Amino acid sequence: MPDRVIVKLGGSVITEKSGPCRIDRKRLSEVSRAISRRKGMLLTLVHGAGSCGHPQAARYRIQEGVDGSNRQGITITHAAVAGLNRAVVQALRREGVDAMGLHPLHLCVAEDGRIASFPLEPLERLQALGITPVLHGDVVADRARGASIVSGDQLVTFLAAGLACSRVGVATNVKGVLGPDGKVVPRIDAASVRDLPLGGSGARDVTGGMRGKVEELLRLAGQGIESHIFHVSRLGAFLDGKDHGGTIIGKR
């Protein structure tokens, strides 16, 4: 059985996060080359929205609940992040990876902001054929709120457990989780996280920034799955199972 691996590309890694939707195509090419060189694993990619989705979600106040008054924010937010997804898929395909975008909005239903239903069979069957699925943080229908945002980080947690992945890699634009001294914290668990002063990752992030990331990954650690947060330039090292100089989130 090939190694099942999930890689999350942070929204701030593949977009310029401060302005309107600007896709970092050079970064996408580098990432795609690193992935195309590694064979023999079942890879699932998840990316964040960055500036291609967060501003729209915030403008329409999606996280406060959706009804007739702000319903149009669903299609507008989704269109922004789906456009980014197409760019990610195209970059991978140019490097020879048979990538395919899968939109959570089309198949997932949340309940009060958490994934409640997400059939995995289409993804698993496409992957078994040799296709690399590329998912993303998205707005989805929500049983309690009309619609809500399911972040890339939440997706990673859900998919890692649902697909029984062996490793999770989170590629960011920092070296790892930084401590108060500005140095990478090499390891975090459910106990040590309480002492870390984790802030948000910047403006316009409606899904919780670095604290959100770590909290999602600690859920996985509780299920025995280790996650790795590292600078995107070290993606190859992570995929090869080598030292990436970042943070490992694991069990105590």
CA 241 to chain centre: 20
The residue (of 28 and 115) whose beta carbon lies closer to a second copy is: 115
Candidates 2, 98, 186, 252; binder of a second copy (CB under 8 A) is: 98
The residue (of 14 and 140) whose beta carbon lies closer to a second copy is: 140
Helices (H), the chain: 11-14, 25-36, 54-59, 72-94, 104-107, 121-128, 152-162, 209-222, 235-239
- Three-state secondary-structure class, residue 228: strand
Does 41 interact with a second copy (rule: CB under 8 A)?
no
Candidates 2, 19, 20, 119; binder of a second copy (CB under 8 A) is: 119
Does 102 interact with a second copy (rule: CB under 8 A)?
yes
Candidates 63, 75, 173, 233; binder of a second copy (CB under 8 A) is: 75
Whose tokens are 């995107």? That residue is: 232
Amino acid 182 reads G
Does 241 interact with a second copy (rule: CB under 8 A)?
no
The residue (of 74 and 210) whose beta carbon lies closer to a second copy is: 74
The residue (of 98 and 195) whose beta carbon lies closer to a second copy is: 98
CA 208 to chain centre: 12
Beta pairing partners, 109:
117, 141
Q: What is the DSSP string of 131-197?
A: -EEEEE-EEEEETTTEEEEE-HHHHHHHHHHHTT-SEEEEEESSSS-B-TTSSB--EE-TTGGGGS-
The residue (of 85 and 172) whose beta carbon lies closer to a second copy is: 85
Beta carbon of residue 122, minimum distance to a second copy (angstroms, whole number): 5
Candidates 33, 94, 103, 187; binder of a second copy (CB under 8 A) is: 103
Q: What is the DSSP letter of 113?
A: T
The residue (of 117 and 192) whose beta carbon lies closer to a second copy is: 117
Size of the site for a second copy (CB under 8 A): 34
Beta pairing partners, 184:
178
Work out the number of other CB atoms within 10 angstroms of the CB of residue 152. 30
Candidates 41, 58, 141, 196; binder of a second copy (CB under 8 A) is: 141
Does 100 interact with a second copy (rule: CB under 8 A)?
yes
Q: List contacts with a second copy (CB under 8 A).
A: 66-68, 71-72, 74-75, 78, 93, 98-100, 102-103, 105-109, 117, 119, 121-122, 125-126, 129-131, 140-143, 146-147
